[in-house]
Structure 1
Amino acid sequence: MTGKVEQFLREALAAHARSPEDLAPLRDICRALIHLKREDELLPWADKALALNPSGTDFVRLRTHALTLLGRHSDAVATWLHYASLPWGAPYYQIKLGHQLVMAGDFERGIPMLTSARQVALAGNEPFASAAEHLLGEALLKTAQTQGFAYWLARNQDDSGSYLPSDIPAWAGQRDLRGKRILVTHQLGYGDQVLLFSCIPHWIAAGATLMISCDPPLHSLLKASLPQCVVVSATRPTQRFAQLPEALVPAVRAFAPDMQISLLHLPILAAERRASPEAYFRAYVSPPSVQGEIAAEWAKGLRLTYPGKALIGLFWDCSQRHYRELGSTMRCWATRRSLPLSAASHLLTEPKVEARAHFVGLHHPSTSALAGTPAGNISQYGPVINDFADTAACIEQLDAVIAVDSVVANLSAMMGKPTAVLTHSSGDWRWGSQGSTTPWMHDVKVLRQRQSGDWSTVVQETIDWLTE
């Protein structure tokens, strides 16, 4: 099928070359790029189409989508403003513009616009009401407002896969959970699970007994870190409101839950108790003892090899950027989060840094080849990283961790390890939106791009952090 679409694209490109004033080949080019999951290449073709047909709302959508994938949120804002007079419909337009304003850092205009869009969409029972609600939630969380979690929960109706077993009642908001047995089902990514499971103590404090599900690579780590819970693993849900996997059903029946919540519900109890997010996500992760002992022996040898030097973990490349089949949204988001290999090499081989520190790569072996190898001053974890229990065991032996926005950054922070997170100009809400700290966690240094795509100042600030 891909070969046929690529042939279709070549024919559309040839047709456009023959008739540059014809809109039909441009539509075909865009259609083919979308089918091939190459939406980040849409921009020049959308621009050509808009030059021919300035009232083409479909091409405005394609232009802003491409700009979003490329991280050019200010340009996306300018595009929505330029085409404001087209027949959009108020809530749809407000959602799109409000979200881009927030991603561009303009919270003063973006949050009220998303608030209005949510109200209008809910009142009109619009199909995108859940999108407005969850985007408002993320905007509030970016500005350290804990009430955002209640809105963020709408991701369960919008863009997140989730489990919703038909034979287990959903939590109805009860706060007194004494004697209640609750099934917590997982969703989202590895880093989200590591972060949000730190909220488990609030549910235990309310009296609940918990069974939690997680992705298989996290299972042994979470089992060691949350001994007060029954921890099981299962495939991650890819659809909304999916039934539990058959393999998980016997364990769930044996646990006999009174109710079920999703991962996104976990921060809700704490949000009611804390207006400020200070220390909202507290460190709780520790590796299984067997992996911990293996890592301790490995670290002894490495410290003998590099006496007097700090051992620093490094994670610089998000592997999703290498897989086109994952789609443009995930691939481009991973690309924007990843530190270029040349920048990583510069950091590691800076003379001031090399004199004080030796680095340990924290990539899984299956992704190391994709990430590449920095120029020098780096070792690999000798016992080998098979799952996140091994990653945590390695991190436990290090003096600090430097990571881009990834599961490793979340893992290091939730272990209480001094962590520097290198983030792009419109980073995730959990890393805050300004300054060099995040209001959500302790011992995390956030080093932000000042200009989209420019890592040079981030690398220099990381050098300063290591040598201060």
Structure 2
Amino acid sequence: MDHAQATTTLEAVLAANPRDDGAWSMLGHLLRRAGKLDGAIACHRRGLEVAPENASIWSNLGNALVDAGRFDEALAAHAEALRLEPHSPAFLFNNAVALRKSGRFKETLAMIGRATAGGGATPELRWERALARLQIGDYVHGFADYEARRGLASYHGRPPSERTWNGGPLDGRTLFLFTEQGFGDAILAARYMPLVRERGGRVLYECHPELRRVLSGLGVDSVLQPGSPPPAFDVEASQMSLPGLFGTTLASVPPPVTLTIPDSSREKAAHRLGAREPGTLRVGIVWSGRVTFADNGRRATSLARFLRFAEVPGVRLYSLQKGPPEAELADSGVAGHLVTPLGPDLDDFADTAAMLEQLDLVIMTDSSVAHLAGSLGKPVWNLVQHVPYWIYGFSGDCTPWYPTMRLFRQGPDQDWEPVFARAADALREEVRRRAGQ
């Protein structure tokens, strides 16, 4: 039964019996899956009117409230579910997720400890523990748990095998390094290639076509298309397992990878950007990552917020945005006037890197371009959500992964407005600083 049929059936059930608490909660579950969170929350609350002691509805309500970013209410709902059924593995897990997403990492770890007391941790619990530990900088234990991702039902990478590499000497053996997750993750992990080569083996490197040119200087023996059957190899590892295999700590993060920018890309960038206007600051902007990324709705925002930077005297904006959100530029009426669209000229990440070389600063919400700019050593101001990608930690304005990156963080209210206000003030100060040089 598809979503529409299930919804129609439940509506019929509720028309016949408006006091069917299970139907209310199931309808809320379907609405949550469809992203209709206000309706989902209302349905769960209607179910609780009928059955206030139903712990499952309380937990479902908490899940919907988490998705809506209403964390205090979510945690209260999950607490009620656990009051009613304190030993339920599902309710303990849901509470742990809510705590982590609200930024309460110490409580998250305590809740996971409660869930695992007297038994082994499931892959789902280990994954939540990994994210909490990595966020607070406990890389030693965090990367050990990070491998649990390959046991998740949602994991779409290569399954674990008996030939998994342990990070030791290769002694001439062939290592297959496969990719997983997104473009930014591949750029992040590429910094480990010098350490891999030191292990003395042959390397088969799986690489997205969009990254092939910009990562062509890694010194690997063969570059493979993702998803294609690899040639014979002896051991294998995910690129995203490399930080753990090399025992990375906050104090031992390797420097970013050296990128390769072909002359053809540099010529394209020089032609597109033209001569520099004296006394101006060229600022690249990106307001969204890939829309297929599950958490993109939290980390992304709209072009409209970035237009305040065009109000700063001496600033010229250049859009590096790609994908469906690029349409916002055409719809805004400012393309070519207040914002120069570079997206149509970007065929791959090598082209983007060449454009970044010609810019003075990049201001963006988190996406793969942040990893690219950080790897180039360009000043990049990353405007990040309340609980961002784990490499950004949870406090402070810098990250050891990209020394030229400055972080502007949302508060617990998840409001973008003060983030952009601080960035606009900082941009005015940057213009004044450069003018005084």
TM over 0.5: yes
Partner letter of residue 157 of structure 2? S
Residues 453 and 108 of structure 1: CA distance in aligned 2, closer, same or farther (over 3 Å): closer
| Counterpart for residue 433 of structure 1 | 394
The answer for the alignment partner of 2:266 in structure 1 is 292
Query: What residue in structure 2 maps to residue 314 of structure 1?
Result: 285
| 3-state SS in 1 of match to 2:362 | strand
**What secondary structure, in the 3-state scheme, does the structure 1 residue paired with 2:194 have?**
helix
In structure 2, relative to structure 1, the CA distance for the partners of 1:373 and 1:219 (3 Å cut) is farther
Distance in 1 between residues matched to 2:136 and 2:24, nearest whole Å = 40
- Out of 153, 173, 181, the residue aligned to residue 180 of structure 1 is 173
Match of 2:213 in 1: 220
* 2:158 equivalent to 1:163: yes
Amino acid paired to 1:459: F
Which residue of the partner structure matches residue 322 of structure 2?
364
Matched ranges for 1:75-224 at <5 A: 75-87=73-85, 89=87, 91-118=89-116, 120-122=118-120, 129-147=122-140, 148-158=142-152, 159-164=154-159, 169-171=163-165, 173-222=166-215, 224=216
| CA 1:117–1:10: 2 relative to 1, 3 Å | closer
Task: Rate the CA distance shift 1:394–1:225 in 2: closer, same or farther, 3 A.
Answer: farther
CA contact (8 A) 1:99 1:114 kept: no
Question: In 2, are the aligned partners of 1:341 and 1:374 still within 8 Å (CA)?
Answer: no
Counterpart Cα distance in 1 of 2:30 and 2:104:
34
Letter of the 1:364 partner, please give it: K
Name which of 340, 345, 352 aligns with 1:391. 352
* Helix, strand or coil at the partner of 1:307: coil
Q: 1:319 and 1:174 mapped to 2: Cα distance?
A: 31
- Runs of 4+ more than 6 Å apart: none
Taking structure 2 as the reference length, what is the TM-score of the superposition?
A: 0.86
CA distance in 2, matches of 1:176, 1:438: 30
Structure 1 unmatched ranges of 5 or more: 235-244, 321-325
Tell whether 2:234 aligns with 1:258.
yes
Distance 1:41 1:425, change over 3 A: farther
Q: CA RMSD in A?
A: 2.9
Matched length: 424
Within a 5 Å distance, the mapping from 1:229-248 to structure 2 comes to 229-234=221-226, 245=227, 248=228
Q: Distance in 1 between matches of 2:259 and 2:39?
A: 41
Aligned equivalent of 1:323? none
Partner of 1:84, secondary structure, is helix
Unaligned runs of 5+ in 2: 430-437
Higher RCO structure, 1 or 2 (CA under 8 Å, sep 6+): 1
Deviations 1:298-343 (A, max 9, x none): 33x152xx332121110012451xxxxx6xxx55x22221123331
Cα 1:42/1:421, change in 2 over 3 Å: same
Within 2, Cα distance between the matches of 1:136 and 1:27?
Answer: 28
Structure 1: how far apart are the matches of 2:332 and 2:217? 31
One-letter amino acid of the counterpart of residue 300, structure 2? S
**Residues 280 and 190 (structure 1), Cα distance of their counterparts in 2 relative to 1, 3 Å cut:** same
- Residues 198 and 70 of structure 1: is their aligned pair in 2 closer, same or farther, counting only changes over 3 Å? farther
In the alignment, the residues of structure 2 paired with residue 466 and residue 449 of structure 1 have an alpha-carbon distance, to the nearest angstrom, of: 18
Cα distance, 1:118 vs. partner? 4.6
Change (3 A) 1:309 1:208: farther
After TM superposition, the structure 1 stretch with the greater mean CA deviation from structure 2, 387-396 or 23-32, is 23-32
> Share of identical aligned residues, percent?
25
